[in-house]
């Protein structure tokens, strides 16, 4: 006799939980579809528990089809739990090749179970489908363990817990067939999965029924893979300023109103709020975004009335589709962010659509970022050398190490473009270390006397100085190549935004290790004469701007500054020497070293070595 009270309890839970779920806002993605199927199976299964229990008690011949359908549904449910698990683990065919065979495994196990039924071996049929269900759970547990890094701790525990419960339910049923615990176990697993992966609170932004960034990522990952999406994104103009004008609470309710307006106006599309006044509407490729943009633009012509306040807001729009050429969700998010940031400067169109020039600028920035990542990953950053010439003898004295990267087509990209990007996203540390390593490699592999080189100047970004262990890391690199700190000098540009005390401290640390410092780009804007004294610089490099100003209008400012530096004990280098007149003028002012295109542009290492080795031999 079967144990019906479990099933009755399950039915009560099923009345509340799944129906609630079905009426909540849901993302249109694969994970959700699989979960909805799983839920439907759990709603269908309990009546079969009753039917099969009754059929077992009466053992009539006509009950066989009921038992077969029940077995098939239970097997399907076990398999569907497995499919859900592979989905939350974001498994790809290349991760675990055997997962591809799961449909075949389901068909074979179903057929074997059916054969047992056809042979009239009902007990064997029950045991078989329970056994196959145990196998699905065991396979799921294996995958959860193998790819545990892809889940958060909570998700991991929930997913593994669900499968342990499923496994236990089936084992109990094999040992005690009259206890109808399998549906209860299934239900517990579904609720557990719901809480960890499907709970709307995980996906909803708290702005007017729209979804959040996590939801955007999950949905877009699938869409980008299939190359089928259209996005209309817009950002509230001057969001930060508007927030301080209207106040946080009012602005929040205004943003919620916009969210609700979008969800209600476009129920067939998915609306996401990506924080800081940025919305995205995702539709199929057939979406008419021009019309939609016009409608939203028109709505913005009237104020948003929230909590007794009228909010007058404007929006900037951008359209993104696969043809835009972005191959990951991160790139899409980055692209939209850059578009909105740059649009504020360049926007000229009255309809608020970000213009083609801005888009081109962003495209270029994204391409540069990609090239930078690629070069750093493969250690492909190159160094070029530019001579530092002794002003009196006009002979080579030192050289500045200048880094270069190449784009996909192999064309050189200027550091003036990629260094600021590297500084912004933190990869300047890795870049700086690779440049220093290559400079050390150059010193190790060449006879500097034959070239006439006494030292190399390596640029150090102030951002690198934020790293506490910078000194140790640099010392280790020099040690590794057997290079003395006497040969490597560091050039640093003072920047107003810097944490001055941290910068001072780092310079002192590096000084103690033995590095000598040059102050780069003096006169380019941030330099402060009185601060120069505080740092232990050995050399000051005059920025080419200040040099060229002097050539145009020979006032007393630059001569006075150079004399002051010399009295303070610094040597002085003039940058941007493009012709003989400038070279002579800077020599006359007392500059010790000269750098510029007049002597040489930055050269690839081997070209530099050949040129200066030959020059040395002929002089």
Interface residues toward ligand C2E, by CB under 6 A: 386, 402-403, 414-416, 419, 432, 435, 459, 461, 491, 520-521, 544, 576-578, 595-597, 602
**What are the two backbone dihedrals, phi and then psi, of residue 536, each rounded to the nearest 5 degrees?**
-85, 60
- Residue 76 region by backbone torsions, left for phi larger than 0, else alpha for psi between -120 and 50, else beta: alpha
Q: Which CB atom, from 218 or from 400, has the smaller least distance to ligand C2E?
A: 400
**Spatial CA neighbour of 3 closest among 67, 42, 52:** 52
DSSP state of 541: E
Q: Which residue is nearest to ligand C2E (CB)?
A: 596
Q: Which CB atom, from 198 or from 433, has the smaller least distance to ligand C2E?
A: 433
Measured distance CA(264)–CA(242) in Å, rounded: 25
Q: Binds 576, which of Mg ion, ligand C2E, none (CB < 5 to 8 A, cut-off by type)? A: ligand C2E
**Nearest approach, Cβ of residue 544 and Mg ion (Å):** 7
Q: Which CB atom, from 399 or from 544, has the smaller least distance to ligand C2E?
A: 544
For residue 122, give Cα distances in angstroms to 61, 117, 169, 384, 525. Answer: 11, 5, 20, 80, 88
**Nearest approach, Cβ of residue 384 and ligand C2E (Å):** 7
User: With the CA atoms of 116, 117, 123 and 127 taken in that order, what torsion angle do they form, in degrees rounded to the nearest 10?
Assistant: 60
**Nearest approach, Cβ of residue 582 and ligand C2E (Å):** 8
Q: What angle do CA 560, 563, 564 make, to 5 degrees?
A: 85
Q: Which CB atom, from 539 or from 587, has the smaller least distance to Mg ion?
A: 539
Checking DSSP bridges between strand 516-522 and strand 230-236, what pairing results, if any?
unpaired
Q: Binds 212, which of ligand C2E, Mg ion, none (CB < 5 to 8 A, cut-off by type)? A: none
Residues near 386 by Cβ (< 8 Å), separated by ≥ 6?
Answer: 399, 400, 402, 595, 600, 601, 602, 603
Q: Which CB atom, from 49 or from 520, has the smaller least distance to Mg ion?
A: 520
Q: Which CB atom, from 256 or from 459, has the smaller least distance to ligand C2E?
A: 459
Q: Binds 602, which of Mg ion, ligand C2E, none (CB < 5 to 8 A, cut-off by type)? A: ligand C2E
Q: What angle do CA 164, 166, 171 make, to 5 degrees?
A: 95
Report the chain's C-alpha Rg in angstroms.
35
Q: Binds 415, which of ligand C2E, Mg ion, none (CB < 5 to 8 A, cut-off by type)? A: ligand C2E
DSSP state of 94: T
**Nearest approach, Cβ of residue 602 and Mg ion (Å):** 11
Q: Quick one: which of 319, 459, 461, 587 contacts Mg ion (CB under 5 A)?
A: 459
Q: Binds 352, which of Mg ion, ligand C2E, none (CB < 5 to 8 A, cut-off by type)? A: none
Q: Which CB atom, from 237 or from 438, has the smaller least distance to ligand C2E?
A: 438
Q: Which CB atom, from 451 or from 577, has the smaller least distance to ligand C2E?
A: 577
CB 494 within 8 A of CB 507: no
**Nearest approach, Cβ of residue 277 and Mg ion (Å):** 39
**Nearest approach, Cβ of residue 599 and Mg ion (Å):** 15
Q: Binds 169, which of Mg ion, ligand C2E, none (CB < 5 to 8 A, cut-off by type)? A: none
Q: Which CB atom, from 198 or from 521, has the smaller least distance to ligand C2E?
A: 521
Q: Which CB atom, from 46 or from 432, has the smaller least distance to Mg ion?
A: 432
Measured distance CA(217)–CA(31) in Å, rounded: 13
**Nearest approach, Cβ of residue 517 and Mg ion (Å):** 12
**Spatial CA neighbour of 231 closest among 296, 268, 289, 282:** 282
Site for Mg ion in 477-506 (CB under 5 A): 491
Q: Which CB atom, from 140 or from 459, has the smaller least distance to ligand C2E?
A: 459
Q: Binds 167, which of ligand C2E, Mg ion, none (CB < 5 to 8 A, cut-off by type)? A: none
Q: Does 218 bind Mg ion (CB under 5 A)?
A: no
Q: Binds 578, which of Mg ion, ligand C2E, none (CB < 5 to 8 A, cut-off by type)? A: ligand C2E
Which residue in the block uniquely carries the two structure tokens 């888009």?
359
Residue 364 CB neighbours (<10 A): 13
**Nearest approach, Cβ of residue 601 and ligand C2E (Å):** 6
Site for Mg ion in 299-358 (CB under 5 A): none
Q: Binds 414, which of Mg ion, ligand C2E, none (CB < 5 to 8 A, cut-off by type)? A: ligand C2E
CB 464 within 8 A of CB 432: yes
Q: What H or E segment, with its residue span, contains residue 558?
A: helix 557-567
Q: Binds 419, which of ligand C2E, Mg ion, none (CB < 5 to 8 A, cut-off by type)? A: ligand C2E
- Polymer length in residues for the chain: 619
**Nearest approach, Cβ of residue 400 and Mg ion (Å):** 6
Which residue in the block uniquely carries the two structure tokens 């694969």?
30
**Nearest approach, Cβ of residue 420 and ligand C2E (Å):** 9
Q: Which CB atom, from 102 or from 429, has the smaller least distance to ligand C2E?
A: 429
**Nearest approach, Cβ of residue 402 and ligand C2E (Å):** 4
Q: Residue 255 is encoded by which pair of tokens?
A: 């943003």
Exposure of 23 in the CB half-sphere (CA atoms within 13 A): 5
Q: Residue 461 is encoded by which pair of tokens?
A: 């970004």
Measured distance CA(291)–CA(310) in Å, rounded: 26
**Nearest approach, Cβ of residue 501 and ligand C2E (Å):** 21
Q: Binds 319, which of ligand C2E, Mg ion, none (CB < 5 to 8 A, cut-off by type)? A: none
Q: Which CB atom, from 169 or from 576, has the smaller least distance to ligand C2E?
A: 576
Q: Does 71 bind Mg ion (CB under 5 A)?
A: no
**Spatial CA neighbour of 466 closest among 434, 440, 418, 432:** 432
What would the x/- binding string for Mg ion be over residues 519 to 538, using CB under 5 A?
-xx-----------------
Size of the site for Mg ion (CB under 5 A): 4
Checking DSSP bridges between strand 304-306 and strand 309-311, what pairing results, if any?
antiparallel
Q: What is the largest CA-CA distance in the chain?
A: 114
Measured distance CA(561)–CA(542) in Å, rounded: 10
Backbone CA torsion sign across 179, 184, 188, 189: positive
Q: Does 49 bind Mg ion (CB under 5 A)?
A: no
Q: Under the rule (CB under 5 A), what is the footprint of Mg ion?
A: 459, 491, 520-521
């Amino acid at each position: 006799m079967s144990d019906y009270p479990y099933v009755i309890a399950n039915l009560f839970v099923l009345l509340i939980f799944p129906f609630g779920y079905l009426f909540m806002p849901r993302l249109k993605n694969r994970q959700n579809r699989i979960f909805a199927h799983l839920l439907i199976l759990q709603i269908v299964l309990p009546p079969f528990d009753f039917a099969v229990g009754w059929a077992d008690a009466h053992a009539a011949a006509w009950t066989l089809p009921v038992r077969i359908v029940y077995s098939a549904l239970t097997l399907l449910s076990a398999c569907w739990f497995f499919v859900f698990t592979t989905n939350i683990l974001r498994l790809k065919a290349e991760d675990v090749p055997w997962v591809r065979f799961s449909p075949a495994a389901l068909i074979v196990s179903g057929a074997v179970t059916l054969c047992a039924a056809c042979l009239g071996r009902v007990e064997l049929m029950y045991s078989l489908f329970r056994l196959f269900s145990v196998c699905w759970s065991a396979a799921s547990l294996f995958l959860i363990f193998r790819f545990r890094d892809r889940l958060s701790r909570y998700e991991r525990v929930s997913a593994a817990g669900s499968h342990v419960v499923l496994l236990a339910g089936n084992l109990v049923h094999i040992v005690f067939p009259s206890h109808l615990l399998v549906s209860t176990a299934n239900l517990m697993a579904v609720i557990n999965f719901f809480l960890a992966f499907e709970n709307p609170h995980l996906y909803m932004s708290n702005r007017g029924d729209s979804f959040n960034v996590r939801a955007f990522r999950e949905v877009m990952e699938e869409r980008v893979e299939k190359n089928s999406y259209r996005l209309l994104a817009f950002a509230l103009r001057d969001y930060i300023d508007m927030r301080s004008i209207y106040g946080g609470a009012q602005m929040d309710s205004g943003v919620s109103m916009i969210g609700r307006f979008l969800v209600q106006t476009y129920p067939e599309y998915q609306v996401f709020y990506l924080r800081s006044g940025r919305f995205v509407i995702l539709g199929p490729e057939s979406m008419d975004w021009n019309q939609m943009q016009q409608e939203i633009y028109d709505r913005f012509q009237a104020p948003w009335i929230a909590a007794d306040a009228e909010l007058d807001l404007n929006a900037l729009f951008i359209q993104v589709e696969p043809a835009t050429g972005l191959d990951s969700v991160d790139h899409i998010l980055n692209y939209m962010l850059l578009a909105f940031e740059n649009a504020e400067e360049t926007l000229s169109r009255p309809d608020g659509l970000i213009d083609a020039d801005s888009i081109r600028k962003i495209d270029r920035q994204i391409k540069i970022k990609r090239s930078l990542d690629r070069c750093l990953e493969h250690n492909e950053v190159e160094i070029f050398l530019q001579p530092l010439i002794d002003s009196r003898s006009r002979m080579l004295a030192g050289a500045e190490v200048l880094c270069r990267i190449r784009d996909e087509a192999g064309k050189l990209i200027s550091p003036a473009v990629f260094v600021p990007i590297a500084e912004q996203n933190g990869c300047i540390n890795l870049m700086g270390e690779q440049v220093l390593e290559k400079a050390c490699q150059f010193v190790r592999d060449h006879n500097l006397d034959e070239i006439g080189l006494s030292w190399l100047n390596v640029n150090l970004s102030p951002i690198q100085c934020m790293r506490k262990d910078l000194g140790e890391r640099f010392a280790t690199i020099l040690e590794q190549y057997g290079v003395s700190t006497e040969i490597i000098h560091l050039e640093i540009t003072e920047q107003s935004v810097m944490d001055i005390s941290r910068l001072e401290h780092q310079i002192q640390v590096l000084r103690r290790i033995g590095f000598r410092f040059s102050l780069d780009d003096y006169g380019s804007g941030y330099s402060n004469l009185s601060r120069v004294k505080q740092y232990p610089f050995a050399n000051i490099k005059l920025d080419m701007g200040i040099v060229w100003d002097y050539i145009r209008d020979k006032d007393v400012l630059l001569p006075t500054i150079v004399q002051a530096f010399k009295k303070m004990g610094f040597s002085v280098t003039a940058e941007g020497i493009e012709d003989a007149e400038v070279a002579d003028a800077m020599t006359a002012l007392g500059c010790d070293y000269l750098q510029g295109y007049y002597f040489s542009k930055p050269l690839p290492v081997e070209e530099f070595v050949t040129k200066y080795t030959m020059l040395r031999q002929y002089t």
